[in-house]
Structure 1
């Protein structure tokens, strides 16, 4: 797979869920495509440093007693009119709850995508497509009201904890996080209670 993301604008009459399903079926790709800000994105194949670091961060949450930490599930955000706003697969996350019967029914109805309101915290580790994680994904998580966004930006060698999502109007591309706690990569990253301070050491040499 290319080291660069494959990005394709989506025609408004096309259901993004059907489009991503068609991409998966046509390519048999090991990575799920995503739909963000009107564009279908096939992320680049992550390297070992990315995967090892994301797993290590997930383990830190688990070690701190957060049993609902996870990786791999896809989540759907919708506009007020019910149309799909985003289909997104975080590198790691902490859920508010285990999937209920209603959540599983939602997932079935939306072809494999859970409702994004299940998420209390999301985390992304940048690959070659760092602009996606620092721009469109950040705005999408804020627009969806995800309370905490943890970003490991390997391009700028910084780590961020973004909180207080703000959607100033109806346009999700104007959403942002009101607070951004930033540290150099390798320094401990404080998170809001009740989450642990994260050790960024796995990324120092990556």
Structure 2
């Protein structure tokens, strides 16, 4: 009888993932499991939350389709080049209200039905610019809005290419210039007070 064993790196990653699921973080901290690494982030501060608030308010008031919004919803995403899935908490998750994804979903929900995710850079902007972008594209999330505070620009990634684990299109505008959010949002996002 043949037995199947995991490669040592997969066994190590699985052990790390098991530890991640048992992790207790201080109040307000976020723990994520991204591409085989546990990432713990402190609570966001001032400017970060101001930008989140401005975007959320505009989406609720202006989107062509009523949206549910969460700033704490964990997404269980397809694995990339690693053995296990990714467990990511975007700064914002937007889904059509009619889908009611947040009420019935578990702590870590699949990304099916999510219209857009939002990241606002803070202490590690390269993670948002790179690895998280690839995770969201691999999961097929249609839109990824990146507010890059260090570069003073807003970028909308679209047309996810699951095979390439990246988005095929992106538009970048400096803070102060409106950014058109396509369907199901269909409005121009005002970024004038992001800086």
Instruction: Sort the TM-score into its range (normalised by shorter chain).
Output: 0.7 to 0.9
Shift of 1:79: 4.1
SS in 2 for 1:203: coil
Residue 44 of structure 1 deviates from its aligned partner by 3.5
Q: So what's the TM-score if we normalise by structure 2?
A: 0.82
What SS does the corresponding residue of 1:68 show, helix, strand or coil?
strand
Cα offset, 1:84, TM superposition: 4.1
Q: Which residue of 2 aligns with 1:55?
A: 53
Q: Alignment partner for residue 98 of structure 1, among 87, 97, 100?
A: 100
**Secondary structure of the equivalent of 2:151?**
coil
SS in 2 for 1:11: helix
> Any conservation in 1 of the 2:30–2:42 contact (CA below 8 Å)?
no
Map of 1:14 onto structure 2: 15
Task: Report how far residue 100 of structure 1 moved.
Answer: 7.9
What is the distance in 2 between the residues matched to 1:119 and 1:99? 8
Partner secondary structure for residue 183 of structure 2: coil
Structure 2 partner of 1:7: none
| Matches for 1:163-178 after TM superposition, within 5 Å | 163-168=158-163, 174-178=164-168
Match of 1:145 in 2: 140
Q: Is the 8 A contact 2:92 2:118 kept in 1?
A: yes
Bigger-Rg structure (1/2): 2
Please list every run of 5 or more consecutive structure 2 residues that lacks an aligned counterpart in the other structure. Answer: 1-10
Number of residue pairs matched by the alignment: 178
Which residue of the partner structure matches residue 198 of structure 1? 189
Asked whether the 8 Å contact 2:14–2:84 carries over to 1, the reply is no
- Structure 1 distance, partners of 2:166, 2:73, is 23
| CA shift digits 1:1-24 (9 cap, x unpaired) | xxxxxxxxx9323262x4233322
**Equivalent residues of 1:44, 1:127 under 8 A apart:** no
**Structure 1: gaps (5+ residues):** 1-9, 169-173
